[in-house]
Structure 1
Amino acid sequence: MHAAVVSLHRQGPVHPQAQACARCELRRLALFGTLSEQALDCIHVHIAAQRLEPGQALYDIGQQAGALFTVRSGVVRLERVNASGERRVVRLAGRGDLIGLEALLKQPYGSTALASTPLEVCRIPRGLVAELSQSHVGLATALMQRWQHALAQAEEWLAELSMGPAQRRVLRLVHKLSQYAQGDEQQPWIWLPTRGDIGAMLNMSMETASRAISALRRQGVLLQVEPQRARLDLALLQATLRSDERG
């Protein structure tokens, strides 16, 4: 099941989506963060806010890429299926990230984007980005920065989460998930993937993933585990990571 588009209709002199973007606390992180409110009003009639529930697909692998998406809130996972038919999560994206960059090259999406939590995104049509890139030099620079960020995320995923002992990989995954945490700064809640999803992310069996999560609970890194979320002792997580890095 795919996401529904939340329509936005002009009710005054300024388009409501432009007003929302001008007030948005993510504006400095978003692709159009450098544009003025007047410029936002001109373009945001073309932009739609979308909301997805966990498990809904934002787009599918192989689908013609017609738009980019800025993540406003929530976590989205990008999945592929390998030649053996096994599902692999290739990276995660969260608040402020730009996904669907294949659209800039008029290529099909290279992965399936699935909402892991309640998700809010802004859909940015490819044609709008192409048009604005010609008249706003800063936008071209912002796009290059987004490309670099996506590449860095992919390299980090490969280097830190695809190799090494299973317990270390799960520990680093929890650290990655802490970037999307909510609530108390010292003991925030994080989205906790299912054991099957952890296996797909880290190339391990569900049993191995389950043992690793249980070990983190015994150590006190995970204070409380519920379906799809866990409360985290952030200070202990960081201390455990430092200890692991020292060997």
Structure 2
Amino acid sequence: MRSAHEVGTVTWFHLLTPAQTTGLLLEGLDVVAGRVLPQDEATFADADAARAAFGHPAPSAEAGQFVDYLLLPDDLPVLDVAVLEVGGGELAPTRVPSGASYWRLEADGSRHLISHFDTPAFGWRNMRGPVWPTSDVGLRARWRDLDVIAAFEDGTDDVHLVARASVDEDPPDGFEWTKTRVSRRTVPAGECELYERVSLVVHDGAPGRVVDVTDGIATLMLERPVEGSRELAPGWHDLRLPESELADVLTRDVLRSA
């Protein structure tokens, strides 16, 4: 296997499961992981062809016959894709990159743009979820006395720092509110130490990762089901539990270069 950056800049096609679609539309889901294909190879004639290529089951009679997918730009230093020699690759869990777009592929082969991801400070445009950026996957930055979410955006060499506030807490100095309890400030990338936090966990015997901790509630991405979890995608079982119940967590920082 080799990394995506060894084969040049690409835009990745990532097919969503119905559960991921629901999470994105209604819950502001901003975590992405799993199988991807280069966009120029994802020339599927219709929704059934896309499902077959990714091994997704056919929809039930009550469900829509469409499929939804993301286009993930890889021109910013935030994606880690292990590219397989047989084609396609495996995207490590991360936050959706700035500039990603959300599309629908219909049963007749037509495609429609639904939304785009406008940095973690704003999230998915025109969605109904809380659009609260996840804390424990994706790029972060240490800047002065802060340790916050970070994001790049096409067209600028600066980095956006995104702070999440507690209820009734003011934003850090120089940060401006972008939505409820979320604020942003843009600074030169050279002033920051950029890194990703990798928090590995074993819960009820199932290995996985901590992807978010908000208001004392941890969200886990587990490789197999446990009591109380829901399956978002193959090998991705979502579980919410009090942070105080977390055990067997191994956390390390992976430095990233701008």
Please give the TM-score of this superposition, normalised by the length of structure 2. 0.26
**Structure with the higher fraction of residues in helix conformation:** 1
**Structure with the higher fraction of residues in strand conformation:** 2
Please give the TM-score of this superposition, normalised by the length of structure 1. 0.27
